Amino acid sequence: MLTSNILKGVTRGFPLKIKADKMEHISVDYNRDFIARIIPRIEYDALRAAVNDLGLNESLPEAMSETLQQDDEFLKTMHKVLLEYEVEEGELICPETGRKFPISKGIPNMLLQETEVS
């Protein structure tokens, strides 16, 4: 899940939308310090949008305040959302062009065709 979020941060200005055909729920040991370190680096709005796109049954507050970043419940939810959901098969979609980037075995394919290179 972290991957799609950093790609949303990295590519152009607009976050890519995400669609899953096959999701996996995995169990990962909770490391509070790691989550606390990571969350200031996350594009929070993009993450919320992804959670929404995927229809995950997790509720994330609209904004991530300083106090929230210390809240255990919030950190545990962020842990689940960032590490325990994996899109095995699916797509990332550019909201501007509709261009789809397939995700296969958890790996997004961002290779561009000859004609797409500006």
Partner 1 sequence: MKLKELESHLSHVENFSNAKEYLEQYMTTPHLAARMIYTAQTQYDDIENHLLIDLGIGTGMLSIASCLLNADHIFGFDCDIDALNLCQSNIKEFELESNIDLIQADLRRIRLPVDLHRIIADTVIMNPPFGTKPFSSSTENQDELCLTGIDMHFLQYARQLARHSIYSLHKTSTRDHIYKKAKDWNMNMDVLAVLQFDIPKLEKKRSNRKTSTASNAPLKSIEVDFIRFEIKDNTDD
Chain residues in the site for partner 1 (CB under 8 A): 2-3, 6-7, 9-13, 26, 28, 34, 37-38, 41, 83, 105-112, 114, 117-118
- Pairwise CA distance, residues 3 & 50, whole Å: 11
Least spacing, CB of residue 73 vs partner 1, in Å: 21
Q: Kind of pairing, strands 100-104 and 85-93?
A: antiparallel
Contact by Cβ (8 Å): 74, 68: yes
Question: The tokens 């995995």 sit on which residue?
Answer: 26
C-beta closer to partner 1: residue 43 or 71: 43
C-beta closer to partner 1: residue 7 or 56: 7
